[in-house]
Structure 1
Amino acid sequence: MELALVIAVVVIALAFDYTNGFHDAANAIATSVSTRALTPRVALGMAAAFNFLGALAGTEVAETVGKGIINTPSGKHGLVIVIAALIGAITWNLITWYFGLPSSSTHALIGGLVGAGLASTSTVLWSGIVDKVVIPMVLSPAVGFLGAFLLMVGILWLFRRSNPGKTTRGFRMAQSLSAAAMALGHGLQDAQKTMGVIFLALVTTGHAQQTDGIPLWVKISAATAISLGTYSGGWRIMRTLGRRIIHLDPARGFASEAISAAVLYVMAIGLHAPVSTTHTITSAVMGAGATKRLSAVRWGVAKGIVTAWVLTIPAAGLVAAAVYGLAHLILE
């Protein structure tokens, strides 16, 4: 029975990784597609490839998710908690995808872990959540908005006397690089969260130790799942991020992607913090767009997105708690 639950955790975790890929495909490429720097299929192929490479580039975020959110009990009970957390996260991903809202798969997963942990009376590591989740959750969008705004102001000043047509073509080409950097950062952040959950399941059943590194098969399977999900595309969210917030030009698209990628790298490699790629790129798009004029940003759309951000952790947590209560009765 325990082995069957381990296999179920791996399968459900990879399903979550796949939904993460198509839910967050827009993060890496929506701006490039909306400015016509890349065609949709080329952009998706590029994003999938760089997601895969980014997923294999480190394990810092995976270790934070696997060790720093909750202490799960060993054996079957711990596996039920992990399954409930994953189902809570997947449910919220599908709801926000349906409505085209770019919410955070990261915070859905963390909300699921916390909700299932509280329902099971497991130890929730609140200090780790504050340091590695709450503070970065507030910091990364703020840095994304301000960084993109300032970078775009600098671009406008540097190219103020340049030929508009040549400048636009140049930034359209530069967006190929910034989109690739964003996709690499997305893999570095989001695929590692699935690795962390699978590692957590292995630790609870004694198949791995907390001091062990992430097994290679876990890295490759998580990297593959998120890449396939990304290639399948998340068109509903892509429309929201690429056009509904603001109609971007190539220069503003480049500024948004470049700043977002930088934030993701610093948070993953420097701080080992699982931040939201969605929050970061959405805020950067708003920041770059605000350099036109504040009214150019559709703040009504932005308000709906922020509402989804606020609801993500508690909503995923409530679903996970309910799933845990049902699974606890059936499986234990």
Structure 2
Amino acid sequence: MSSADLVLLVLIVLSLAFDFTNGFHDAANAIASAVSTKALSLRGALVLAGIMNLAGALAGTGVAVTVAKGVISTPTHGVTVVIAAVLGAITWNLITWYFGLPSSSSHALIGGLVGAALASATTVQWGGVVEKVVLPMVISPAVGFILGYLVMTGMLWLFRSADAHRVSRGMRRAQILSAASLAFGHGLQDAQKSMGVIVLGLVITGRQTGFDVPFWVIALCALALAAGTYAGGLRIMRTLGRRIFPLTPPYGFAAEISASSVLYLTAFVFAAPISTTHVITSAIMGVGATRRRSAVRWAVAGNIVAGWVLTLPAAAAVAALTYALTRLF
């Protein structure tokens, strides 16, 4: 095995490790509300999320192509730049997981790519970063919040005269479908980021000339994300399921359906790598705000938003430091 092959293999393994950490870091996104409302048992919810993550990961590659060619130019310093980016993202994922902070794995990876590129004097495609990352990062949570508020308002009006216990029982069953829908959207969005990184590595090493995603890359990333999701993320689940707003089945259903809609729209229509974490968190805030403003624990929400803001620069800094260290050896 040549040194180039070995470096590419390291990138592939690290990308799959990132997918795994993405899965257990973000498992709570899809199942926190369903578990907290007792619509699903924890183990059943994890199995469902793992299967639907796998299905979603196999459903498209538009976001992967955006990550592969729309964030940084092909690095002149080779695959080392991309490896440093992935290490930066993994490190930030582990830090935020440890503290139970639902930050964005997607933006950790994008931040890692930008940081490693800047450290290696590789051109950052700032137009693509702003259009495909920064703007969706700001807009998608706002849309999630508004849509969650509107969907919950509509449900409250629709069931205004219905028996509350019957509605709760029906919504608890419906949450199985909405949780599955959200997990599918998570797979559709998040598995594609690692696909894009591996494709970038293949292009850098001359293994392929275009940015099409080979099926073996799709399959490996899908399996890694699904395995990580099944491993679970209980720390973050407590934050999303209880600490922001104490969800009931109708509120959980409304939040999941709203977040799923945003994920599908951005993946299929705009091919933009948005954060599943940002969208479901803002949707939970939106549905909670329909009860009363004080029902949402805004202090907890503020800590989460701080994590969102820190993710891009923090992951970029770790990736830049990692690249600098690799140049010493």
Measure, in 1, the Cα distance between the counterparts of 2:133 and 2:54: 24
Match of 1:221 in 2: 220
Match of 1:86 in 2: 86
The amino acid across from 1:278 in the alignment is T
1:5 matched to which residue of 2? 7
Matches within 5 A, 1:23-62: 23-62=25-64
Matching of residues 130-149 of structure 1 within 5 Å: 130-149=130-149
Q: 1:213, CA displacement in angstroms?
A: 1.8
Amino acid in structure 1 at the alignment position of 2:273? P
Instruction: Tell me the equivalent position of 1:301.
Output: 300
Displacement of 1:272 in angstroms is 0.5
Give the TM-score, by structure 1 length: 0.98
The amino acid across from 1:321 in the alignment is A
Structure 2: how far apart are the matches of 1:93 and 1:132? 21
Q: CA deviation at 1:164?
A: 0.6
Cα offsets for 1:130-152 (capped at 9, x unmatched): 11001111110000000000110
Is the 2:37–2:252 contact (alpha carbons within 8 Å) kept by the matching residues of 1? yes
Letter of the 1:52 counterpart? L
| Whole-Å separation in 2 of the counterparts to 1:56 and 1:328 | 36
Q: 1:195-234 counterparts in 2 under 5 A?
A: 195-210=195-210, 212-234=211-233
For structure 1, which runs of at least 5 residues remain unmatched after alignment?
A: none
| CA distance in structure 2 between the partners assigned to 1:15 and 1:35 by the alignment | 31
Aligned residue type for 2:23: G
1:286 equivalent in alignment to 2:285: yes
> Does structure 1 conserve the Cα–Cα contact (< 8 Å) formed by 2:32 and 2:238?
yes
- Normalising by structure 2, report the TM-score: 0.98
* Structure 1 residue 156 displacement after superposition: 0.5
Match of 2:66 among 43, 59, 64: 64
C-alpha distance in 2, partners of 1:198/1:84? 13
Residues 75 and 117 of structure 2 are in contact (CA less than 8 Å); yes or no, is this contact kept in structure 1?
Answer: no
Amino acid paired to 1:320: A
Unaligned runs of 5+ in 2: none
Matched residue SS, 1:275: coil
Counterparts of 2:153 and 2:75, CA distance in 1: 52
1:118 is matched with 118
Separation in 2, partners of 1:72, 1:291: 47
Deviation track 1:24-62 (CA, whole Å, cap 9, x = no partner) reads 000111010011111011010000001001001000000
For 1:118, give the aligned amino acid: L
Alignment: residue pair count: 327
Match of 2:315 in 1: 316
**Distance of 2:290 and 2:37 partners within structure 1:** 17
Structure 1: which 4+ aligned runs deviate by more than 4 Å?
none
Counterpart of 1:169 in structure 2: which amino acid? R
Letter in 1 for 2:270: L
For 1:131 and 1:112, locate their aligned partners in 2 and report how far apart those are by CA, in whole Å: 18
Indicate whether 1:154 and 2:154 are aligned: yes
Aligned-partner Cα distance in 2 for 1:224–1:78:
27
**1:209: Cα distance to partner?**
1.4
Number of the residue aligned with 1:17:
19
After superposition, the CA RMSD in angstroms is 0.7
Task: Check conservation: 1:35, 1:250, Cα contact below 8 A.
Answer: yes
Q: For 2:75 and 2:24, how far apart are their aligned partners in 1?
A: 32
